[in-house]
Amino acid sequence: MAEYKFPTEIVDLPSKGHFYVQGHPLSSGKVEIKYMTAKEEDILTSQNLIQKGVVIEKLLQSLIVDKSVKIDDLLIGDKNAVMVAARILGYGKDYKFTYDGEEQSCDLTSLEAVDIDYSKFPRGKNQFEYKLPNSEREITFKLLTGADENEIDKEIKALEKISKEQGFELTTRLKYMITSVDGKSEPSYINNFVENEFLSVDSFEFRKYLSSITPDMDMSTTITDSNGKEQVITVPITVRFFWPSAGI
């Protein structure tokens, strides 16, 4: 590896590299990132990148030391881990945010990866099987990557231009995630299944199962609300995450 003149840190990926194909640089379960510099602050303040909605992707790609690793290749949960690490290295571990009108803070170094039993799944394979409990139909699916997320966002925005009377988030994500239904992998078949045949009771159970096997950061933290009671919430990622001085 080339000699770098800037300090770096190794980030442990929530997936432990388990679902990347053998030989992929992310299959090690770790990624090396450098500390933020003025170059990265230029990225964060680029109005062009902010307007295009790609500023965080450009930032994280700039921080990854091994340029053969593309941010789009990371599973969403692994990308989240790199984002949290980048924030800690760039602006410190204390993250302040507003919740229910009250100023709160979270020590980002206290966040840990979701605990998953990887022994249940073959290494190097991002494909899973699930039998829907109500209809008993069998589906295969994959975990989404950064590239999938970008395509989903583009498709949702295009659909919203056509119709503003309904949401498209859930069905679009399911269409990208499901790779076959009852052994049939044609996109038209999958799309029809998601839109017309995927019963709500099955969709709910599938999403519960998906949550239980998806590598990610556990973004929950305990706060004290305005009534003095403790409650566990999901840390909201606001503009103050990478722009701490933002007054919101």
User: At residue 246, does pLDDT exceed 60?
Assistant: no
pLDDT band at 3; cut points 50, 70, 90:
low
pLDDT digits (tens, 9 = 90+) for 153-203: 999 999 888 887 778 999 999 999 999 999 999 999 999 999 999 999 999
pTM for the complete prediction?
0.90
Please provide the distance, in angstroms rounded to a whole number, between the alpha carbons at the two ends of the chain: 42
Alpha helices (H) along the chain: 38-44, 47-52, 55-63, 76-91, 146-162, 169-177, 187-192, 200-213
pLDDT at residue number 166:
75
Please list, in sequence order, all residues whose beta carbon lies within 8 angstroms of the beta carbon of residue 225, skipping any fewer than 6 positions away. Answer: 99, 100, 102, 231
| DSSP structure class, residue 195 | I
Q: What share of the chain is helix, strand, coil (3-state, %, to 5)?
A: 40, 20, 35
pLDDT digits (tens, 9 = 90+) for 26-47: 999 999 999 999 999 999 999 9
- Mean pLDDT confidence for 10-38: 96
Give the alpha-carbon dihedral of 7, 235, 214, 194, to 10 degrees.
-130
Averaged pLDDT score across all residues of the chain: 92
pLDDT digits (tens, 9 = 90+) for 113-154: 999 999 999 999 999 999 999 999 999 999 999 999 999 999
pLDDT at residue number 70:
94
pLDDT at residue number 4:
52
pLDDT at residue number 150:
92
pLDDT at residue number 27:
97
pLDDT band at 248; cut points 50, 70, 90:
very low
pLDDT at residue number 53:
87
